[in-house]
Amino acid sequence: MPTPIYKGTFPVVISEATKYFDRGKIEFVKTQVYQRASVVTGSIGSSNSLSIDGKLLSLTNISVSTKDGLSEVTQTYSGGDSSAPEVYEVVATCSEEPISTHPAFTVSTGIYTPSSIVDAAGSANVNFDQSNVFVSFGKNAENNFFGVSSYLSPQVQYRRIRSTGTEPTIAETGNVGYIFDAPEGYPPTIGSGRTWLQVAVGIKNNGNQKTGSGQFEITEEYRGSGVKGWNPFVYPTFS
């Protein structure tokens, strides 16, 4: 295969492409051909390497391929818009829980009326051990409770996804495991008595490596409680 002929002065730019991703990330890829002895590249991780649409990007990847005295160099710059709009996601599901943890297991309460579960099954048909811990429903349990050991408890997950132009600090992750009455953003209404627990924080670096200006994507995840709220004796309350 003949050696390709490039017109112009080295380095020769053979392709440039800019990609715009969801949530503010920008990626710029540039491929140039150098004479092998004169290859010049930037330093990976260097901040403020390039500006696209007024957004500062950093060099995040370099690929070099050499043949017949020529080197093809592809450099990728990443960064983004620290003012990208926040994104909110809500997922409502059900998870299996022991029937004895149901809020109306022994006492009729709130929307669970007019009878508790024990009364609905017939208290004489509900078996407890010597420590008064529920064991099972007897074979004569009313309202189809015989054999029931669990129920599906509604669960709501709320995610807040945002961007920042500065390197996150410990404050971004320090509230995991804390109770929130109302997380920031636009969480759904979950009813009186229910609270939120921050269960996860994810930080995604979109270009500025360890220091400098760029774009970080932060995802906060919260889980809605049952009707009694998260137990403040188990989890601290955010204030």
Three-class SS of 152-174:
EEEEEEEEEEEEECCCCCHHHCC
Verify that 178 and 144 share a domain, yes or no. Answer: no
Chain position carrying tokens 């970080």 = 216
Verify that 71 and 114 share a domain, yes or no. Answer: no
Computed on alpha carbons and rounded to an integer, the radius of gyration of the chain in Å comes to 29
Verify that 157 and 194 share a domain, yes or no. Answer: yes
Per-residue confidence at 157, pLDDT binned at 50, 70, 90?
A: very high
Q: Taking a C-beta distance cutoff of 8 angstroms, is the pair 117, 105 a contact? A: yes
> Does residue 177 belong to any structural domain of this protein?
yes
Q: For residue range 53-77, what is the model confidence (pLDDT) as tens digits?
A: 777 788 888 999 998 889 999 999 8
Q: Taking a C-beta distance cutoff of 8 angstroms, is the pair 30, 74 a contact? A: yes
> Does residue 7 belong to any structural domain of this protein?
no
Spatial separation of the C-alpha atoms in residues 186 and 106, rounded to whole Å: 35
Tell me how many domains the chain contains. 3
Verify that 127 and 180 share a domain, yes or no. Answer: no
Q: Taking a C-beta distance cutoff of 8 angstroms, is the pair 113, 81 a contact? A: no
Verify that 131 and 158 share a domain, yes or no. Answer: no
Cα–Cα distances (Å) from 5 to 1, 31, 51, 88, 198, in that order, read 12, 16, 31, 52, 59
Verify that 216 and 162 share a domain, yes or no. Answer: yes
Looking at the predicted structure, is the pLDDT value of residue 4 above 70? no
Verify that 58 and 108 share a domain, yes or no. Answer: no
Chain position carrying tokens 């330093």 = 43
Q: What is the pTM assigned to this prediction?
A: 0.67
Instruction: Return the pLDDT at 210.
Output: 53
Spatial separation of the C-alpha atoms in residues 118 and 12, rounded to whole Å: 80
Looking at the predicted structure, is the pLDDT value of residue 156 above 80? yes
Verify that 36 and 66 share a domain, yes or no. Answer: yes
Verify that 147 and 161 share a domain, yes or no. Answer: no
> Does residue 2 belong to any structural domain of this protein?
no
> Does residue 229 belong to any structural domain of this protein?
no
Range of the domain at 114: 102-151
> Does residue 163 belong to any structural domain of this protein?
yes
> Does residue 233 belong to any structural domain of this protein?
no
Q: Which two tokens stand for residue 10?
A: 């080295």
> Does residue 42 belong to any structural domain of this protein?
yes
Enter the DSSP assignment of 4. Answer: P
